Structure formats: C-alpha cells, structure tokens
Structure 1
Amino acid sequence: MTSSHAPAEPESPPFVQRPLKDRVALVAGATRGAGRAIARDLARAGAYVYCTGRSTFAHPSDYGRGETIEATAQLIQADGGRAQALVCDHLRPEMIHEVVRRIDEEHGRLDVLVNDIGGEAYVSWGEKFWDTDFEAGMKLMNAGLLTHLNTAHAALPLLTRASGGLHIEITDGTSEFNAAHYREAVYLDLTKTAVSRLAFGLGHELIDSGCTALAITPGWLRSEMMLELFDTSEQTWLSDSLDADREVPPADFAISESPHLLGRTLVAVASDPNRHRFNTRTLSTWELADIYAIDDIDGSRPDSWGFMAAKEADSGADARDYR
C-alpha cells in the first residue's frame, strides 16, 4: 500500500555507478509527463539524453500547457545529468533527420530510442466516428502514430549501426487488454494498438542487426495534465481519490502511478544485457516492475491492468489492494 505523501525524488548516484553511463539516448516527446520522466531517469542512470519536442519558452504547443523542452533539459542538468534540448516537430521528417545528424556528429552512435509522443490531448469522446471532425481526428493519429513512424525511419539507421541498440515504443494498454476492449474513440483505438504493432514489426526487422524493439505501457498515469484535470497534487492524490466528499479524482485514481515508474522500468530494460528476451512484446510497467523488483516513487508497485480486470469481475474491487 502506498503513502499519500510523495517522497523527494531520489538523488542520482555517482556517474561511475550508473548503468547507462556510456549510452546515448533520444527521447522523442520529452516535454512533459511520461517523456519528461523517462528522459530524467535515463540521465540519472548516466545516459546522455537528447530531449526533443515542439514546446519551447518562445513557442508553446497547442496543448495549452506551460511545460517546455528546455525546462526538461534544465531539470536533468540540475540533477547532475547530461542532456540537450532540441526543438523538433516530429511531423516534419527534415527536422528529425537534423536531430539524428547532430547526434551522429557529436557521438557517432545512438543506443536507446524512445518514441513517446502521444496525441491524447486531441481525443474527442462521445461521438460516433462518422460524426467526428475527420481533420481533428487525424491530428490525433498523426501526433500519436505518424510521429513514431517518422522518428523510427530517421533514427534506426544510426541505432542499428552497432548491435545492442534498443527501440522502445510508449503505448497505452497491454496487448491482452486492447485485444478485448474498445478505447471508446476510433482514432485513439487505432493509434494505440498500431503503436504496439509497430514495436512488434520492428522487433522482427531488427533481429539481424542485433537490436531490440518493444513497447511499454504505463497504467493510469499521474501526469501533470491528470493532476490538474482532477484538481489534485502529487502530495494529495491518494487522499483526494478516497475522499467521498469530492467528485474528482474518482476513487479508481487510487491505482494511478507516477511517470517515474515508467522511467525506472525503462532504465531497467535498457540496463539489462538480456533485454532481447522482450523483443517484439508489449509489456506493462507492473510486469517490468515485478521482473526487476522496482517500486514507484512512493514505494508501491501499482498493477493498473490487474485492477481493471478485477473491477470488471467485481465492481467493488478496491484499487488499494492492487498497489
């Protein structure tokens, strides 16, 4: 069971003790949420991290959020890590190729590629597909899938230059869950299942180069956007979820996980010399946390997908029993 109070984030160990100290990583979509946490945790493990995204101090994205790609790099540097923020719209292949050219020029290698751009901010709920604004729906698919294709196509020639490279797709939903559940919006459903399938396909194509591709799904992510949507904080989310006098967050938000559980499990995979056993698969943060004995920043190990299955069988299932 978790505490309702989040402890301070862990300090980074000395570089000589960091398992990724000689690795170079690219995190596409490192501006906020999962991408920011992944970038910070890779850097804490010693990797040199290139952080890409559209949102800058001068030009915020159309999400209407205050987070920027420069701020992510600043957080990493404040942690004692090494990072560069590179402005990149991953819908523009020429910008991605310039990022890859720069990584090649400065390091001559790419060890870890993380495709994290989501597009969930564009989802429209409660409409039949034929009643939706098609252009708006395709904006979600372009942000959540086309960016991944563009980035993989541009960066994999550098990643595959040496064996051992790791390509990770960040998706939403385990293969089992998505196979049996509709995500209540055609554009979102297609996007998230296609991202997992991309990891499956790339895993097959990377075998000859000695590289690995997989997808990782978090559970209910306690991102900045979720915390603001539910008018709660990283210090009070649990007590607020369990407060019967509040309309939000819903009680099920008690199963939520911080973005750093995703970051920590991803680092564990990247540090594992036997990571090719996961090639082509989609794994949850809970599965990986169990394999590597990793906890979230509050000391718990939430199993969101197990809880959701239990909730379908018994509407009275308690999220706290799955942490």
Structure 2
Amino acid sequence: MNRALTGKIALVAGATRGAGRGIAVQLGAAGATVYCTGRSTRERRSEMNRPETIEETAELVTAAGGEGIAAPADHLDPDQVAALVRRVDAEQGRLDVLVNDIWGGDGLFEFGKPLWEQSLEDGLRMLRLSIHTHAITSHHALPLLIREPGGLVVEVTDGTAEYNAKYRKEVGFFYDLAKSAVIRMALAQSVEIAPYGATALSLTPGWLRSEGMLDNYGVTEETWRDAVEKVPHFAISETPALVGRAVAAVAADPERARWNGTSQSSGGLAKEYGFTDTDGSRPDAWRYITEVVERDLPADVTGYR
C-alpha cells in the first residue's frame, strides 16, 4: 500500500491481541497513527488474564512504520470512552478509521450446549462485552469520524452475514447472537453515516491464529503446522495480519464506499485487493468451511489458500 495511510488517524478498540492487534499493526505499516485501546496494560490485566498489553501493540505499530499510541479504556464505561474520543480530538483533531474489535468473551460460552444449559450470567456478560461496547464506542466516536468525509467504520465479527444467516448451533445462543448482532450494527451505521461521506462494513477473519488459539493447541506461530496433525482443518488458518491488511486496504481505497453496508471476510478482500498473509498465501477460510468442513470431507486446502 506504499504508506497510503500516512497522516490518517485510526482508533482500534480492542487492540490488545488477536485481530485487533493485527489490524492496528497493519494500519501502522500503511503509515497511520493508531490509538490502541483495551483493558490490559503492563500495570493491570483484564478479566481475560492474558499477558498481552496495549503498550506492546502500540510498540508494534510504531515498529511497523506508524505511530502507535496506547490508550487504556474500558469500553463498557461510557465516561471512559467519551474521554478517549476527546483525547483523540484534542491531539489529532480528526478520526479517519474506527475499528470496533472489542470482544473479551473467550471462556464465557460452552460449545454444543442449548440456551437453558448455559450460564445465564456468563451469556449476558458476553453480550455486554461484545455488543454494548461496540454501541458505546460508536456513539461517542462517530461525531468525530463524520466531521470530515471519507471516514471508515469496521465492525469485526466472526462469520459473514451469509454464513451466520443460519443458527450456529455448535457455538450456542449467546455467541451466535453476539456475532450476528455486530453484522447488523455495521449495517445500521452504514445507513446513518453514508450522508456524511463515510462507510461502515462488517469484517470477519477466518480461522484466526490468535495468541489464545495458538496456546490452546500448544503451538507457536513458528510451529503452528504441528497442530494440523491433531486438527487437520487447522491447515486453513490465518495470521491476524491478514484481517489487518484487509482493513488497511479498504481504508486506503478511494472507492471504499462500494463496501458500505456489506459483510466481508479477510479471504474475500485478499482476492479483491491482491494482498496475502505473511506466508504469501490467501486462505479463504469461509469458503473452505462451507465446501469442505460442513460437507464432512477430508481436510485438503488445495485451491483454498
């Protein structure tokens, strides 16, 4: 992208790890100034109790060529989010890209259990973490983003609108609702901000090799293929850089309004814009899941990455 986002200001809400970190770093690689927000800092961990911090993310953004700014914030607290946006306004006077990637729901759902067998407390907490946070952040950030035309809102979710149109029984009621609601939130914002020359879309990574996923399989990014022996379909997985490059590509596209209101995937946008994952491949996870996994076919990523 040849530093196409130099001078642009981005706020990545939920940039501590995973997709959020990948997006922040790739926006930085394209030259942007990126406010990296979250609850996990070097002084204090969030309830996720993981070692990654927003300071580390900000340092990675700067190392990639942008300017990373660590901005601690609990996005369930409207006052903290309002203060965060005031800070961006005071320091930059504008906001060009808003990425809502707040999640924090790992460990709050159980695979394969019906609604009445799941913890109501955990389920409602998941919805607050994944839906209320996005609404609070957009409520406060959109007035700054629409101040000048050309703004971009990216709602990060799991699954495309087409895939999530059916109930995802394997992940259960609360998770399915959380991820489907985010797609609808992107659609709603696309209608409301379009008159101001801004664009909103939802975006899903594929099978993400996040820090937590790698830990779950007992591998690192360097050894991730070792997990394919036990979980063959993991061969379609991708790094957080792929979804990050998707956001950066859309943000740098002068015709980004063509995506307004749509549901996109990292693999689909990789084909559209021609970028690749860090290994030079273009994993198309959602097509693979539909055509291979759901048909109970043997793992074979030929033609899918």
Report the TM-score range of the alignment, normalised by the length of the smaller protein. over 0.9
Instruction: Kindly provide the amino acid, as one letter, of the partner of residue 234 in structure 1.
Output: E
Other-structure match for 2:98? 113
Q: Cα deviation per residue 1:255-302 (whole Å; 9 max; x = unaligned)?
A: 001000000111000000000000000101111000001110001100
Q: Cα deviation per residue 1:206-239 (whole Å; 9 max; x = unaligned)?
A: 1111100001111100111001100112122224
Structure 2 gaps of 5+ residues are none
TM-score by length of 1: 0.90
8 Å Cα contact 1:111/1:159 also seen in 2: yes
Instruction: Kindly provide the amino acid, as one letter, of the partner of residue 38 in structure 1.
Output: I
Instruction: Kindly provide the amino acid, as one letter, of the partner of residue 229 in structure 1.
Output: N
How many pairs were matched up? 302
8 Å Cα contact 2:99/2:155 also seen in 1: yes
8 Å Cα contact 1:254/1:320 also seen in 2: no
CA-CA distance at 1:139 after TM superposition = 1.0
Instruction: Kindly provide the amino acid, as one letter, of the partner of residue 130 in structure 2.
Output: G
Other-structure match for 1:230? 217
CA-CA distance at 1:66 after TM superposition = 0.3
- Separation in structure 2 between the aligned mates of residue 210 and residue 321 of structure 1, nearest angstrom: 38
TM-score by length of 2: 0.95
8 Å Cα contact 2:10/2:95 also seen in 1: yes
- For residue 298 of structure 2, give the secondary structure of its aligned residue in structure 1: coil
- Separation in structure 1 between the aligned mates of residue 227 and residue 138 of structure 2, nearest angstrom: 40
Other-structure match for 1:322? 304
- For residue 216 of structure 1, give the secondary structure of its aligned residue in structure 2: strand
Report whether the alignment pairs 1:267 with 2:264: no
Instruction: Kindly provide the amino acid, as one letter, of the partner of residue 153 in structure 1.
Output: H
Other-structure match for 2:258? 277
Correspondence for 2:157 among 148, 155, 171:
171
Other-structure match for 2:187? 200
- Separation in structure 2 between the aligned mates of residue 209 and residue 116 of structure 1, nearest angstrom: 23
- For residue 49 of structure 1, give the secondary structure of its aligned residue in structure 2: strand
- Separation in structure 2 between the aligned mates of residue 133 and residue 234 of structure 1, nearest angstrom: 33
Other-structure match for 2:19? 34
8 Å Cα contact 1:310/1:317 also seen in 2: no
Other-structure match for 2:33? 48
8 Å Cα contact 2:6/2:32 also seen in 1: yes
- For residue 291 of structure 2, give the secondary structure of its aligned residue in structure 1: helix
Instruction: Kindly provide the amino acid, as one letter, of the partner of residue 249 in structure 2.
Output: A
Report whether the alignment pairs 1:148 with 2:134: yes
The aligned runs of 1:279-318 (5 Å cut-off) are 279-311=260-292, 312-318=294-300
8 Å Cα contact 1:255/1:303 also seen in 2: yes
8 Å Cα contact 2:26/2:245 also seen in 1: yes
Instruction: Kindly provide the amino acid, as one letter, of the partner of residue 252 in structure 1.
Output: H
8 Å Cα contact 1:307/1:317 also seen in 2: no
Report whether the alignment pairs 1:91 with 2:76: yes
8 Å Cα contact 1:119/1:141 also seen in 2: no
- Separation in structure 2 between the aligned mates of residue 92 and residue 305 of structure 1, nearest angstrom: 34
- For residue 252 of structure 1, give the secondary structure of its aligned residue in structure 2: helix
Other-structure match for 2:166? 180
CA-CA distance at 1:151 after TM superposition = 0.3
Instruction: Kindly provide the amino acid, as one letter, of the partner of residue 173 in structure 2.
Output: V
Structure 1 gaps of 5+ residues are 1-12
- Separation in structure 1 between the aligned mates of residue 167 and residue 297 of structure 2, nearest angstrom: 17
- Separation in structure 1 between the aligned mates of residue 239 and residue 18 of structure 2, nearest angstrom: 9
Which aligned segments of 4 or more residues in structure 1 are displaced greater than 3 angstroms?
A: none
> Once the two structures are aligned, what percentage of the paired residues are identical?
48
8 Å Cα contact 2:246/2:270 also seen in 1: yes
Report whether the alignment pairs 1:258 with 2:245: no
8 Å Cα contact 2:30/2:65 also seen in 1: no
Other-structure match for 1:4? none
8 Å Cα contact 1:50/1:85 also seen in 2: yes
CA-CA distance at 1:308 after TM superposition = 1.0
